[in-house]
Amino acid sequence: MWNAKDVYYVSDSTALLTEDMARSLLCQFPEVSFNEEKIPFVRTVNEAKKAIKHIRSQSGGLQPLIFCTIMDDDVRSVFDIAEVEMIDLYGGFLNTLETALEVKALREPGYFRHGDTTKIDQRVEAIHYSLEHDDGKKSSGYDEADIILIGVSRSGKTPVSVYLATHMGLKVANFPLTADHLSNYELPADIARNRIRTVGLTTSPQYLHKIREKRYSGSSYATVATCSNELQQAEQLCLHHTIKTLSTEGKSIEEISVQATQLIGIAKQRRLV
């Protein structure tokens, strides 16, 4: 069994989709670590030869994995050599679909990206909004949010917000619950007014302690007692305001994001994955 493997995401477009598709497969092999690199915009045979030369020189005879979404047969064939393991993420599926649909596919690089500028604009707008409303930096504009995440410090609000914005095109605001809010069980009016679209992120005291201890080792902020007290108050606050809660312990960002959208009924509305 391989303990580690070099992985290359090679595309005639941005390689973002290639990476997403490949990672959805690689995550099924948690016992193997992967050294990853994206090689985008490979559109000519010459560019492909330069890319394979780079891959071979960097990975030697370690039989690296190449996940490929290149449409052009001649360009793609450059990577189909014995020294690497090339996985064509598009070819087999498109051939099957062409047979099933009885029509030829466009096979145009990056078509889904420039073919729908509305989705691109939506994603960019969502990212800008989410950055502006990260960690309570901007309290106004919450009425525009698709989803509002609240929780104590280090409960995972920011990474989940980033994922929801970049992968689902959702405008996300996140707000930290500090001592003032927790002790009084109060929320800013902008959040209370939009509590139907608000999700409280929670976890176990032990899990939160481990996360805080990495950044602030030995501090009272990181003790199990402090974590337990804050989490209990946060859960009571959410209960008081009828806000649904979601535990983040042991879950991936992707899983948390999907479950959060499901809680407030927008899981199927604006996904861009």
Q: What pLDDT digit, counting tens, does each position of 183-200 carry?
A: 999 999 999 999 999 999
Whether 71 contacts 44, CB under 8 Å: no
Q: Mind listing the pLDDT tens digit for each residue in 126-174?
A: 989 999 999 998 878 899 999 999 999 999 999 999 989 988 889 999 9
Given this model, what pLDDT does residue 43 score? Answer: 92
| Planar angle of CA 190, 192, 196, nearest 5 degrees | 110
- For residue 37, list its beta bridge partners: 8
Q: Which residue has the higher pLDDT, 214 or 61?
A: 214
How does pLDDT run across 205-246, given as a tens digit for each residue?
999 999 999 989 999 999 999 999 999 999 999 999 999 999
Domains and CATH numbers, the chain: 4-113 (3.40.50), 117-263 (3.40.50)
The pair of three-digit structure tokens given for residue 146, joined into one six-digit string: 């698709």
Is 0.75 topped by the overall pTM? no
| Residue 54 pLDDT | 96
What φ, ψ does residue 66 adopt, rounded to 5°?
A: -120, 110
User: Which of 207-241 are b and which e, b meaning 16 or more Cβ less than 10 Å from the residue's Cβ?
Assistant: bbbebbbeeeeeeeebeeebbeebbebbbebbeeb
Those residues whose C-beta lies under 8 Å from the C-beta of residue 43, and which sit 6 or more positions away, are 12, 72, 75, 109
- As a residue count, the chain comes to 273
